[in-house]
Amino acid sequence: MLTRPDRHLTATWLGAVILAVGLAACSAGTGDETGSAAEAASPSADPAPAVTPPGAPAGADTNPFLAGAPAADPDMQSVHAADALRASDPDGAAALDVISDVGASLWVGDWFEPAEAQTLVHDYATAAHAAGRTGVVTVYAIPARDCGSFSDGGLTPEEYPDFVQAVADGLRGTRTAVVLEPDALADLGACDAQGDRAGLLRQATAALADAGASVYLDAGNSAWIDAPTMADRLRQAGIEDARGFATNVSNFRTTSDERAYGDQLAALLGTHYVVDTSRNGLGPLGDGPLDWCNPAGRALGEKPAAVDDGSALDAYLYVKVPGESDGECDRGDPAAGQFWPEYAIGLVERAGG
């Protein structure tokens, strides 16, 4: 079953970032001064220099989530949706608060100019570190993204390296985890206009790793590409420079299935992995052609947290933002990336949240 993540239309959260970094600077005396929100939001403004935290970034050598739990973005769409429901539906708002409190990855893609993406990820990651957390950024801009399905788009092969380098520059010195290009390797060769996809991913992995990021190349899921084939694709994409790989992004496969798949891949590669548990609490709906697309009756899975059990698994993460639509799904569902409060509330309620 093909997993099709959404095209995330993440809003900036500069006001909250400025407050967080400012408070950290006042209390610890280690933060850099930050300009006004208007200056930071301007595409022409120079991004603030990276704040290098004490000690070396995790990179590929250690589990980044042992140094800080996954960060929660205070500008997630669930935050705004909960605020809008607070007076009329307090129970629904409380359910959305469950998602906001644990947080999900910040997605950046071709809906941002490179300078905008650089500023956004820098401010997000710096604030996450100031709060003692590990930021999680998902890069989603590969050429021929989603092969023309509901989340189609992406940059050209010529534009892509500069975009990734801007993201890397924004993350430099911030101890951040990066999930790199959901679906890209699982869809390798599945449609035209991909360019040298493996080469682009290899270059992107190296650039992000050079900036100190802990890179997790997307490896599809346990029901998509067999482990030996995916291991070969990950090698082509530069897994040796990465911390490891990510599985189940935007999908619903059970944690036990994903751990079995991840362990098999990790043994083949000698590396580590993370699992997206954002919507897999009750497993998949089925294996129909669109059963991956906003399936009914699903639930949140394990909350984001580091895993330190001696296995190759580094963490459970909400990579997909719970409640953001996978797309129209050929039945008139909200567009990809649009937050769907009713769906999000159902995910929480069925998980017992």
**Mind giving me the DSSP string for 292-353?**
TSS-TT-B--SPSEE--SSSSEEEEE--S-TTB----TTTTPPPTT-B-HHHHHHHHHHTT-
Q: What is the pLDDT of residue 58?
A: 64
Amino acid identity, residue 256? S
pLDDT bin (cut points 50, 70, 90) of residue 47 is very low
Q: What is the mean pLDDT of residues 110-132?
A: 96
The bridge status of strand 106-109 relative to strand 244-247 is unpaired
* Distance from C-alpha of 315 to C-alpha of 317, rounded to nearest angstrom: 6
Residue 229, pLDDT above cutoff 90: yes
Handedness of CA 326, 135, 208, 12 (dihedral sign): positive
> In this predicted structure, what is the pLDDT of residue 73?
86
Alpha carbon distances (Å) from 227 to 60, 257, 268: 21, 12, 8
> Where in the sequence numbering do the catalytic residues fall?
146, 183, 326
Q: Which of 242, 306, 303 is nearest to 63 (CA)?
A: 306
Q: How far is Cα 41 from Cα 26, in angstroms, rounded to an integer?
A: 23
- Rounded mean pLDDT, 18-46: 33
Per-residue model confidence as pLDDT tens digits over 301-325: 999 999 999 999 999 999 999 999 9
Whether pLDDT at 76 is above 50: yes
Mean predicted lDDT score pLDDT of the chain: 87
Predicted confidence at residue 32, as pLDDT, reads: 32
Q: What percent of the chain has pLDDT over 90?
A: 81
pLDDT at 221 over 90: yes
Q: How confident is the model at residue 353 (pLDDT cuts 50, 70, 90)?
A: confident
Is pLDDT above 60 for 22? no
pLDDT tens across 62-72, in order?
A: 999 999 999 99
Q: What is the pLDDT of residue 36?
A: 28
Mean pLDDT of 332-336: 96
Query: Which tokens belong to 338?
Result: 């649009």
| Tokens describing residue 68 | 């800080």
Average pLDDT over residues 271-292: 96
- The mean pLDDT of 172-178, rounded to a whole number, is 95
Q: Average of pLDDT values for 206-214?
A: 98
Under the banding of pLDDT at 50, 70 and 90, the label for residue 16 is very low
Q: Is the pLDDT of residue 214 over 90?
A: yes
Q: What is the mean pLDDT of residues 238-258?
A: 98
CB 6 within 8 A of CB 320: yes
Average pLDDT rounded to a whole number, residues 48-56: 39
pLDDT over threshold 50, residue 227: yes
What pLDDT does 13 receive? 38
Question: What is the signed CA dihedral for 181, 65, 101, 219, rounded to 10 degrees?
Answer: 20
